[in-house]
Amino acid sequence: MNDTPNSFRNQPDDRGHFGEFGGRYVAETLMPLILDLEKHYRAAQADPAFEEEFNDLLQNYVGRPSPLYYAESLTEEVRKDAPEGKGAQIWFKRDELNHTGAHKINNCIGQILLAMRMGKTRIIAETGAGQHGVATATVCARFGLPCTIFMGATDVARQKPNLFRMKLLGAEVVPVTSGAATLKDAMNEALRDWVANVHDTFYIIGTAAGPHPYPELVRDFQSVIGKEARAQMLERVGRLPDMLVAAIGGGSNAIGLFHPFLDDPDVKMLGIEAAGHGLDKEHAASLAGGGPGILHGNKTYLLQDEDGQITEAHSISAGLDYPGIGPEHSWLKESGRVDYDSATDKEALDAFQLLCRTEGIIPALEPSHAIAAVTREAVKMDRDKIILANLCGRGDKDIFTVAEALGTEI
Amino acid sequence: MTDRLSQSFPADRAALVAFVTAGDPTPADTGAILDALVEGGADVIELGMPFTDPMADGPSIQEADIRSLAAGTKTADIFNMAREFRQRHPDTPLVLMGYANPMTIRGSDWFANACVDAGVDAVICVDIPVEEDESLGDALRAKDVAVIRLATPTTDAERLPQILNNASGFLYYVSVAGITGQQQAAQASIEEAVTRLKAGTDLPVAVGFGVRTPEQAADIAKVADGVVVGSAIVEIVGEHGKDAAPYVRDYVKSLSDAIRTAREI
Ligand SMILES: Cc1ncc(COP(=O)(O)O)c(C=O)c1O
């Protein structure tokens, strides 16, 4: 569409813009703080001790590197329905094996180290599925900082196990009742808390969105996924995968997987949004069904009406139930480098069960959307092709939701 | 346009800047409420554009936004309210206040033209700091619509000149780091801040956030060029709904009386 840039990996510019997206759309009260955060982040990037501590915690506390796994049984299952000679190999990056059960912890480790460098003594975060809330509560427990987690009341009800985990970890969880009482509303409330407590509080944003420098630093912390996967692929099969697939809520696990591969022209990438009940009904696919707008500190694709009022998202997966997307994805879509597609609640539920049965892995509902897309794509690709999907979370937290959706009582 | 605004800050007393949410409780009710603000003695009107996600607002204005949007308020309705207000009150400046997305969704030129067309004098956008000014400010200035900047307790001396650059109308000092409708700042800190801000600009300095009582308004009026009151008015609308106008007028009059005599005592 646009002129192809020399590199897809040198965004954002120094004002935090990814093309026309991103930026710093925050109240003046927060502006000095995010400028200060940027300054500290630059200093941390230049400090080998920061990287060393980050890597040490990822290795010994989180359990990285996460395995790269060839899902042979799923591949065989998919091949049964594939035309002759088709059915690509399906591989998973096993970030669901991380401590706390999702990729969210990678980012939380990075941000809490930054918070401590800045001398902040209190942590806040928003959470949807509760995975980011649990990861934040975990690092706060580890480093002895008090934390307050904002969670939509709807999500509190549908992610009870994570609610309890956060409490066990010592976090205060504040149920948010405004709006549809989901992730967007939790983020509004976190921003309100932050603006009133700028002097001592650090906001650990859970996805690659928000005002600059958050989209950049969350991406950088999550890029450990793609860096490991790239090296592991080269070591195991001696070449890069043909396609990467990841589910997209705000887009942090996806950008973490994609970014290290963006300048490998032969690697295709597919981000999967949540199509909810269907793209013509209620859904959470802001790229497919939204347009550019400004919310939560950045310019990006949003679900909105013609007056710029934000419309409610819907997904069976609390972690994807957000009417926006990180700004780098908006830019990658417009630049044509990454393709975006979607999967419905039903497709995700089917894929969830398929993975349980074929691989003995219970995935979270978020990556189940990616798995649904993988099965769709694999049957179209030759058998010697490789699809690598990000298995970014485990499904323990979702068993109640899935049971209800399947009409089973537990 | 900007003239109407600058003339509303008299030299001998502070101006009263009054905020209400457009379309609360319904678009049909806003006209009478705006008239009540003027009758009560407000010098400048801030008309809030409701937004689904008012991140900088406390519960009172959040609820007002929800009431307004639930009543079906559209951007076109808000500009109609402004246009009709302008016809009824040719001399009272009207400022639109709100969030970036509803203001920029059709493009900044569209918004600037709509402001001119409806007789809007100035715009305050909560979530467009100077760093992103070009996404709205250029278009407004090109049409002579004032771009009102916010300064806060976190705005330090180094940053202040950036904020004042290209600011017009008046300077809005948000006296507490926080959301609307909560506690008020200490008088001493307000005085200190206003002195600091006035050293850097000839624009009138209006102070807001957390102002509720005539006494608080009078205290601020002793040191600042303007006093902004929002949540307290919005709460009256919330309580009395369609019948709010006379209550709003009486309350605003109590503020206005206090401000008018503040510097005599
Ligand atoms: C397991 C899992 N995957 C994905 C997401 C979506 O976030 P993101 O798009 O930032 O990876 C979440 C969010 O809660 C999650 O818990």
A76-120 pLDDT tens trace: 999 999 999 999 999 999 999 999 999 999 999 999 999 999 999
Specify the pLDDT at position A1.
Answer: 46
Instruction: For residues A135 and A73, state if they share a domain.
Output: no
End position of a domain, from candidates A181, A198, A218: A218
Instruction: For residues A159 and A289, state if they share a domain.
Output: no
- Give every CB contact of residue B59 below 8 A, 6+ residues apart in sequence: B181
pLDDT at B1 over 50: no
Centroid of ligand 1 to alpha carbon of A366 (angstroms) = 6
pLDDT at B134 over 50: yes
Instruction: For residues A36 and A84, state if they share a domain.
Output: no
**Residue A164's CATH number:** 3.40.50.1100
CB crowding B48-75: b at 16 or more within 10 Å, else e: bbbbbbbbbbbbbbbbbbbbbbebebbb
pLDDT at B116 over 50: yes
Nearest to A204 by CA among A274, A272, A146: A146
Q: Classify A371 as helix, strand or coil.
A: helix
Specify the pLDDT at position A180.
Answer: 77
Catalytic position from the list B43, B46, B63, B77: B46
Annotation marks residue B53 as catalytic: no
- What is the residue range of A133's domain? 25-60+104-218
Nearest protein CA to atom 14 of ligand 1, as residue: A319
Model confidence at A4, in pLDDT bands (50, 70, 90)? confident
Instruction: For residues A185 and A333, state if they share a domain.
Output: no
Instruction: For residues A89 and A135, state if they share a domain.
Output: no
**C-beta separation of B18 from B39 below 8 A:** no
Specify the pLDDT at position B2.
Answer: 55
Specify the pLDDT at position A11.
Answer: 95
The residue of chain B with its CA nearest to that of A296 is B55
End position of a domain, from candidates A218, A237, A258: A218
Please indicate, yes or no, if residue A2 is contained in any of the structural domains. Answer: no
| Chain A residues within an 8 Å CB radius of B80 | none
Interchain contact B56–A (C-beta under 8 A): yes
- CA A192 – CA A352 distance, rounded (Å): 36
Complex prediction ipTM = 0.96
Model confidence at A3, in pLDDT bands (50, 70, 90)? low
Please indicate, yes or no, if residue A11 is contained in any of the structural domains. Answer: no
Centroid of ligand 1 to alpha carbon of B54 (angstroms) = 25
Q: Where are the domains of chain B?
A: 2-264
- CATH superfamily of the domain spanning B2-264: Aldolase class I (3.20.20.70)
Interchain contact A307–B (C-beta under 8 A): yes
Please indicate, yes or no, if residue A118 is contained in any of the structural domains. Answer: yes
- CA A161 – CA A149 distance, rounded (Å): 15
Chain segment A244-269, per-residue pLDDT in tens: 999 999 999 999 999 999 999 999 99
End position of a domain, from candidates A218, A248, A270: A218
Instruction: For residues A186 and A227, state if they share a domain.
Output: no
Chain segment A276-322, per-residue pLDDT in tens: 999 999 999 999 999 999 999 999 999 999 999 999 999 999 899 99
State the nearest Cα–Cα gap between A25 and chain B, in angstroms: 5
**C-beta separation of A242 from A308 below 8 A:** no
Specify the pLDDT at position A160.
Answer: 85
Nearest atom in ligand 1 to the alpha carbon of residue A130 is 14
Pocket test for ligand 1, best of A253, A255, A340, A361 (most atoms within 8 A of CB): A253
Instruction: For residues A266 and A139, state if they share a domain.
Output: no
Lowest mean pLDDT among A37-46, A343-352, A399-408: A399-408
**C-beta separation of A261 from A387 below 8 A:** no
Domain count, chain A: 2
pTM for the whole structure: 0.96
Instruction: For residues A182 and A117, state if they share a domain.
Output: yes
Please indicate, yes or no, if residue A19 is contained in any of the structural domains. Answer: no
Neighbours of A14 (CB within 10 A): 7
